[in-house]
Amino acid sequence: MLRLCRSALTIMLLAASTGWAWAQTDKAAGDGQRLLPAPTQITPSARIDPQRFGNAPDAAFGAYQRGLYVTAFNLAKPRAEEGDDAAQTLIAEIYARGLGIRRDPEQAANWYRRAAEQGNPEAQFQYALLLIDGTYVEKDEDQAYALMEDAANAGNTFAQFNFAQMLLDRHQGADGLERAIGFYEEAAQAGLADAQYAMAQVYADGAGSRQKDDAAARLWLARAAHQNYDTAQLELGTWLVLGRGGDADAVAGFGWLKRAAQGGNIAAANRLAKLYRAGIGTEPDVIAGAAWYVLARRAGLVDPEMDVFLEGLTDEERRDAIAQANRLR
């Protein structure tokens, strides 16, 4: 699965008066690592859109929506065999997810292919992913690229995001970047959190023809963060504490970092520990700060500054912190 190539948004806080700073190590060690599974996936499972079945209510889709998957399958199968691309896509979805019937990825691939050949955008997107993966069909990245582009141009949000990534991979010059940003923006406006985070990076870095605009970047971070995109929550919390892209709000920043940490983001756990230690956005609590760092440390993040902090605690404080960390798991 292609992933967004995230440019570094490393933020350093040099605040000797408060006795704390963001450590570079929390970004390097924590990026891409989680304490718990991510709340969202990079390419969520395609949702069945009733508009694909025309304006009139469709019995097969209605049964699917009510969880009557076998009924939906039986109603859609004859139409699929007659060449109805919407029914073919619905059948493929049922096979792919094993809804009411035995999961059969090869049958799913077959029906996605047939629907994709007829120009169904959702099927084009799903079959392109199968071609990239190469497990159930022969790997063909060129065909996947073409299908993903068709689906993206037809307005499939997930295809727009994935095609933007493919553009960056294949066309690393200014033209490829500009096209990718266009597709990211379309997907972001449609509400895809991954694309919203990408647009935050675009404005934070001043990528392509877009001028650097921290205020716009912060707005996109907020939109992604509200959808539980933990990396956006991490960045938004950091920006709020620092006052980047708008007024500083340490309390709100603390809240977003805590939310990201509770969702499993290691870097957020480390930064939250520092806020607790320094009493920024919350009352000072060295035990809570130590507990969150212990949790991050167990997950593989090493921050020398926080190691020194732990070493400076009393034996009793360390025991209390470890006990609290155990409850946080």
Q: What is the pLDDT of residues 221-257, one digit of tens each?
A: 999 999 999 999 999 999 999 999 999 999 999 999 9
Whether the CA torsion 228, 230, 231, 236 is positive or negative: it is positive
- Residue 34 has a pLDDT of 35
**Cβ pair 124, 105 in contact under 8 A:** no
pLDDT at 26 over 80: no
On the 0-12 / 13-18 / 19+ scale of CB atoms within 10 A, 312 is exposed
pLDDT, one tens digit per residue, over 49-67 is: 555 544 445 899 999 999 9
User: What mean pLDDT is predicted for residues 118-143?
Assistant: 97
- Residue 184 has a pLDDT of 98
Where exactly are the structural domains of the chain?
50-155
pLDDT at 290 over 70: yes
**Cβ pair 291, 262 in contact under 8 A:** no
Q: Top-level CATH class of 50-155?
A: mainly alpha
Position 94 confidence tier, pLDDT thresholds 50, 70, 90:
very high
Question: Cα separation of 196 and 187, whole Å?
Answer: 8
**Cβ pair 139, 131 in contact under 8 A:** yes
Question: Cα separation of 120 and 154, whole Å?
Answer: 9
pLDDT at 188 over 80: yes
pLDDT at 297 over 60: yes
pLDDT at 17 over 90: no
pLDDT at 39 over 70: no
**Cβ pair 30, 298 in contact under 8 A:** no
Residue 266 tokens, joined: 């290691």
- Residue 262 has a pLDDT of 97
C-alpha gyration radius of the chain: 23
Q: What percentage of the chain carries pLDDT values higher than 70? A: 83
**Cβ pair 220, 26 in contact under 8 A:** no
- Whether the full predicted model's pTM is greater than 0.95, yes or no, is no
pLDDT at 88 over 70: yes
3-state secondary structure 29-46: HHCCCECCCCCCCCCCCC
